[in-house]
Structure 1
Amino acid sequence: MLRDFSVQSLFMGALTAFVGFASSFAVVLHGLTGVGASEVQAAAGLMALSISLGVCGIVISLATRLPVSIAWSTPGAALLASSGGVEGGFNAAVGAFLICGFLIVVAGLWKPLGRMVSSIPAALANAMLAGVLIGLCFAPVKAIAFNPLFGLPIVLAWAIVGSVNRLYAVPAALLAFVLVLTFGVDMPADFLANLSSALVPRAQFVFPVFNAAAIVSIALPLFIVTMASQNIPGIAVLKVNDFHPNPGPLFATTGLFSMMSAPFGGHAVNLAAITAAMCAGPDSHPDRGRRYWSAVNAGITYVVFGLIAGVVTAFVGLAPPVLIEAVAGLALIGAFSSSAMAAFAEADTREAAAITFLVTASGISFAGVSGAFWGLIAGGLMLALARFARRKG
């Protein structure tokens, strides 16, 4: 196993973790605070997720000798940001995180549930995801309107670097965000002292509370989004690169690690979809049999990032919220465009997808249940009616 290690896999693994962390940690922080987490709890949640997914990636990749990249659910975090607080506060959200992790375990071990999730029309799942993401994708424009001197450098860095290499677009926006924050925002006198104290990792146990509103508003949509937008595409990326794992045990393992991180504020751990190609592709190593070390090295790097999550959140906490949302929105534009294209690609499902998208994007909750769930229900009913009418005709 040690003979399979290479400097190339070390570099690619570290780069994978950096891109995955830097491109979406702002989405995670925004999502956790959106469902009631305090700044300290959000930092603890980010730490728990990073460490959990890092260890999960190491365990799975070493056990299977496959380059299985693990990530947190970025679409799931965006869903949390749009869901808002629920009855019971962050404790109820943590209860929903546990339920979501349990459902992922069941989906991996119990084939009927896995088939049921896979049978959700891709157009509706993508429309729901697009509806969830669109609000955050407006944030870069809002940031420019809020303060052009703050917002424009972030957007321009993303656009200019992205035109050369899309992979580095979000890290460039993040670097611009750091520079804007460093030179444009007055730091409190005790900031350095607080920053040094944040170097010590601090886990925050959150006692879970279970209620119907949180389960329907958070757990079920989070489960569907994570399976449809992360786990299933993650398997597809591996297959494209000629790796053919058994999906069930992988899903169950990520669900187990999700349950382990949930009491500390982590929302979901899953297979990586976007960064998976970095570890599984030829840039990781010419020899396919040695590429799993890239995923192992990515896991180690994620653990390191998790241990300094307190520093990251303390620094980011100085920024106006709209700037954090702008970085998150730029990170999600690619996901929004691909999900929107997939949602409206087929004429037969286009109208149902549009209803799903509009109900979800409205952000309106009914009976304490978020629009993401109702969007999927409304689109599903419309699709069923259309198919029934075609059969009768």
Structure 2
Amino acid sequence: MGGRLQPVLAGVVTALVGFASSFTVVLAGLRAVGADRDQAASGLLALCVASGACAVWLGLRHRLPLSIAWSTPGAALLVATGPVTGGWPAAVGAFLLAGLLIVAAGLIPALGRAVAAIPGPIASAMLAGVLLPLCTAPVRALVEVPRLAGPVVLVWLLLHRFARRWAVPGALAVAVVAIALTTSGPARMDAAPVVALTAPAWTLPAVVGLALPLFLVTMAAQNVPGTAVLAGYGYRAPLGSALRVTGLATALGAPAGGHAVNLAAITAALAAGPDAHPDPERRWIASVTAGIGLALLGLGAGVATTLVLLSPPVLVEAVAGLALLGALAGAVAAAVAQPDAREAAVVTFVVTASGVSLFGVGGAFWGLVAGWLMLLFRRRAAASPPAGSPEAEPAPPVPSRAG
């Protein structure tokens, strides 16, 4: 009986950890690009149901532990981007377009290869620049609301040392208690699921500054690492099938406010590792259970949204920042790993983290462009030796031996 329940329990843990560790990032991102309370709650619900449905379908079809989640780096990108030209409808249109691009990557191998051809340091630096503003929130929260943020950070530190998996959920629980103790007056607490549909609109700044970076971040920071995690446990992920299914789910969930669904990277190991079941052929049960659990957790999106809105915004961002510190560390390490691309990666990171907006297009796009230009400039300079150097001077003529 214990062996039969083991993958089920692992799936429940995967769902709880995945939801509690980053739903605050999702809500902060949706609110940043213009969603109101109901639209943000609807987006969180759509992401939970879409992720759960994809996990169940892919797990039953392929009998592999294919954990599905929302794009946490994509949600951080929304925070960094902020309001887009055209408002919330244009953001919804960007979500829809990103989903269609993911479907296209699953249908057209050349497109997937083109995304994979983006230099790793540049992609990692863009991700690091996107994550940095949120990851500084715990520091700001300790200064602005020390009585609320202090216990949250302390619990995170303790659990990070002794029970790392539960560090962020534990910090979130402390934040919820702090909010409950300090909030006065009636609050709107809707337990019923909220579905708020929005007709998508398209503007050039939203397409260039949000849809394309969201597609790239989701592919480079979620789908590609997700397949790598599965490969580390001996599984060959059906990437084409996963991209088609998750991309379609993203497109269908966009009008309800969902920004992106993809292969899980952070929580993938919880369902694919030996803790899920000693037999690798039984671990798919964990990912299917996690999908069901995540869909059920989505029914409480209204309550989660209310809790977030009752708290100081910096406290919500602090919990989100704590959840993303590990991702930031990995992105920074990957960005500077190659000496020949280090300067280009730093340029990408600085431009992206600056949060600049030019022609209505956010910093993530310009960071990617700046990094590409810097990398091309450096490679051309390396290929063309400076005048006066021994490599640049023509070789002396060889005297003829004839006659």
**Cα deviation per residue 1:77-113 (whole Å; 9 max; x = unaligned)?**
0000010111110000000000000000001110111
The letter for the 2-side match of 1:128 is M
Q: Is the CA contact (8 Å cut-off) linking 1:4 and 1:293 kept in structure 2?
A: no
Q: For the Cα contact (< 8 Å) 1:5–1:293, is it kept in 2?
A: no
Q: Does 1:279 align with 2:277?
A: no
Q: Structure 2: which 5+ runs fail to align?
A: 386-403
The Cα of 1:201 is off from its aligned counterpart by 1.1
| 1:387 aligned residue | 379
Question: 1:45 is matched with which residue?
Answer: 43
The structure 2 residue matched to 1:112, chosen from 110, 113, 119, is: 110
Equivalent-residue separation in structure 2 for 1:313 and 1:6 (angstroms)? 35
**Unaligned ranges ≥5, structure 1:** none
d(CA) in 2 for partners of 1:150, 1:175: 12
Decide which of 226, 230, 253 is 1:234's aligned counterpart.
Answer: 226
Partner of 2:287: 295
Q: 1-side partners of 2:304 and 2:135: how far apart?
A: 22
Structure 1 counterpart SS, 2:216 = helix
Deviation at 1:148, TM superposition (A): 1.1
Question: Are 1:146 and 2:144 an aligned pair?
Answer: yes
C-alpha distance in 2, partners of 1:341/1:245?
A: 25
Counterpart pick for 1:76 among 71, 74, 77: 74
State the one-letter code of the partner of 2:374: M
Asked whether the 8 Å contact 1:5–1:290 carries over to 2, the reply is no
Aligned to 1:97: 95
Q: Does the CA contact (< 8 Å) of 2:3 and 2:277 recur in 1?
A: no
Look up the equivalent residue of 1:377 and give its one-letter code. V
Output the amino acid matched with 1:68.
Answer: L
**Counterpart secondary structure, 1:60:** helix
Q: Matched residues in 1 for 2:11 and 2:41: separation?
A: 24
**SS of equivalent residue, structure 1 residue 373:** helix
- Per-residue deviation at 1:184? 2.2
> Hey, what's the Cα distance between the residues in 2 that align with 1:301 and 1:211?
36
Deviates more, 1:344-353 or 1:176-185: 176-185
Tell me which amino acid in the other structure corresponds to 1:249.
S
1:66 paired residue number: 64
Give the aligned partner of residue 119 of structure 2.
Answer: 121
User: Does 2:17 align with 1:25?
Assistant: no
**Percentage identity across aligned positions?**
52
Number of the residue aligned with 1:88:
86
CA distance in 2, matches of 1:245, 1:127: 26
**Aligned equivalents of 1:316, 1:378: Cα separation in 2:** 35
Q: Which letter does structure 2 place at the counterpart of 1:232?
A: V
Deviations 1:174-207 (A, max 9, x none): 0110111111222x23x3xx32xx1211210011
TM-score for both structures, normalised by structure 2? 0.94
How far residue 246 of structure 1 moved from its aligned partner, in angstroms, is 2.6
What corresponds to 2:388 in structure 1? none
The amino acid across from 1:170 in the alignment is V
For residues 15-55 of structure 1, give each alpha carbon's deviation from its aligned partner in whole angstroms, at most 9, with x where no partner exists.
Answer: 00111100000000000000000011000000000011001
Number of residue-to-residue matches in the alignment:
385
Structure-1-length-normalised TM-score: 0.96
Runs of 4+ in structure 1 off by over 3 angstroms are none
Select the structure of larger CA radius of gyration.
2
Q: Work out the CA distance in 2 between the residues paired with 1:312 and 1:359.
A: 33
- Which residue type is aligned with residue 40 of structure 2? A
